[in-house]
A and B are shown apart, each in its own frame.
Chain A
Amino acid sequence: MKRRELDEKMKHIFREETSQLEPPDTIKKAIDRRLQSGSEREETEAFDEPLFDEPKASQTVRWSRRVVVVLVAASVLVFGSLIGSSSAKVVEERGYAFVDPDTRDFAELPGILQETDYEDITPVEQFSNGYTFSGVRIHYLQKYDTKSNPVGGLYYGLSITYEKEGEEVEPELYFSPVDTKFEVEPERIQEVCDWNGVQVYLLKSIYFAMPENWEELITPEQQKLLDSPVSTSGIDPSLSEIEMSVHYSYVWEQAGRRYSLSDFHHGKEAVEAEKIIAKEWIEANTAE
């Protein structure tokens, strides 16, 4: 609502501030002179060319190590099956989000959901275990083909974080549109639940956060573990060493979106809280 009000006021101000501006007659005379002089030539510039280079994700990133890790991790955990299973020759999804949440005010969340094409989602402010909304980040996503050419346009993922006073666990619920087949290695599945007809998987992952020169740094033991079906990995340009951590995530698909709920810093101790959050989110977003 606030955004719409801002838009309306801005439109009004633009109109009002320029309403007195009228082009002087000299402009028309100058145009006529130029057209009649015969000195004007057709433009050789192609008008169909973009006026500005279209902003690419990598050009506008204010990278935060944590955000990069979270996003890459979320992408790999949730979209680990993306490579090889998509029919659109998409081999990679890249994205970025800002360090600070786009808002910490729950009242602004409906506006963000609307702006990012998630207006049908019912957000939850507080769950029965006391975890309360603490912020939302918009992730700007783009898919790329084998030659790193963009496939389709930019689209959005959202990550909503929750916190509880006195608790270190801060679950993050990430979701984005589904357009690939959901496949997961059986070794990763710790539990399968059915809540309101939605299949929810608790997945275990050993996550490798890799610097760009990881191939020079990886040890034989790390390589062996990396090759196991439980492991996933992502490149984080801010790292100088390989970092490894164990994650548990609740993953499910609902209404055309794929969700991943996890705390990338607290492993299994976050699972109990996340189980309630996942269940209640699904209930809130299940049609009567």
Chain B
Amino acid sequence: MEYCDKELVEQLLRKEKNAFDRLYERYKSEVYRTAVLLTGNTEDAKDVMQDTFVTVSMNIHKLKDVAAFEGWMYRILARHAVHCIQNRRHEVLMEEVPQKPAAEEEVSELLCKEESRQHVWNYLSRMSERDRTVLILFYFNEFSVAEIADILGWNIGTVKSRLHYARKELEKIVRREAAR
């Protein structure tokens, strides 16, 4: 039987048997993939995923609005991912800026190239945690600007401006990659 989010959360709140398992099955792939994107590697992503589901299970009674479960869960996920990255204290060395930018080519066309596609992880790892999180929530999780604002606890205008910068940054990085 297929349950909606609201039913699953209510089952979990009532501590029904298998309620957590059903919730886990619903979100496991999406949460894991988001964790990989946010942390940049599968080892950290496993830890972040564990922490996220444990936090969800232990704190579900604090959820104020059952309908807002998904945003609440991603807020927890993003928080664990950022803590993980900060604890890792791993600095990614910036690569040298190429001399010739690929100004003439459309960024969207460049992204279609296989070699550029392989650099998606590189693009993300070079971005600030803040911009990377906004990009992932927007592009991968396909949250709206308003939903991202809710997850990050920001104003909508702030998310819009960060998204604007993140896009600009992405364009620059893609062009640099293409000029290599």
A52 in complex: contacting residue of B76, B135, B152, B155, CB < 8 Å: B152
Interface-side segment among A21-29, A64-72, A78-86, A187-195? A21-29
User: Which B residue sits closest to A30, measured CB to CB?
Assistant: B50
Answer whether residue A167 sits at the interface, using C-beta atoms and an 8 A cutoff.
Answer: no
A11 in complex: contacting residue of B53, B142, B153, CB < 8 Å: B142
- Shortest CB distance A157–B (Å): 12
Alpha-carbon gap, A69 to B140, bound state (A) = 40
Contact with A along B149-180 (1 / 0, CB 8 A): 00111111110111011011011000000000
User: Which B residue sits closest to A50, measured CB to CB?
Assistant: B153
Answer whether residue B55 sits at the interface, using C-beta atoms and an 8 A cutoff.
Answer: yes
Which B residues, 47 to 106, have Cβ-Cβ distances below 8 Å to chain A? 49-50, 53-55, 57-59, 62, 72, 75-76, 78-79, 82, 106
Q: Is the CB of B50 within 8 A of A54?
A: no
Alpha-carbon gap, A111 to B53, bound state (A) = 40
Answer whether residue B39 sits at the interface, using C-beta atoms and an 8 A cutoff.
Answer: no
Q: Is the CB of A43 within 8 A of B140?
A: no
Q: Is the CB of A153 within 8 A of B158?
A: yes
Q: Is the CB of B158 within 8 A of A154?
A: yes
- Shortest CB distance A196–B (Å): 31
Which B residues, 93 to 142, have Cβ-Cβ distances below 8 Å to chain A? 106-108, 111-112, 117, 120-121, 129-130, 133, 135-136, 139-140, 142
Answer whether residue A61 sits at the interface, using C-beta atoms and an 8 A cutoff.
Answer: no
Q: Is the CB of A154 within 8 A of B29?
A: no
Alpha-carbon gap, A54 to B154, bound state (A) = 6
Q: Is the CB of B108 within 8 A of A6?
A: yes
Q: Which positions in A face B, CB cutoff 8 Å?
A: 2-3, 5-7, 9-11, 13-18, 21-24, 26-28, 30-31, 34-35, 40-43, 45, 47-52, 54-55, 60, 102, 115, 138, 140, 152-155
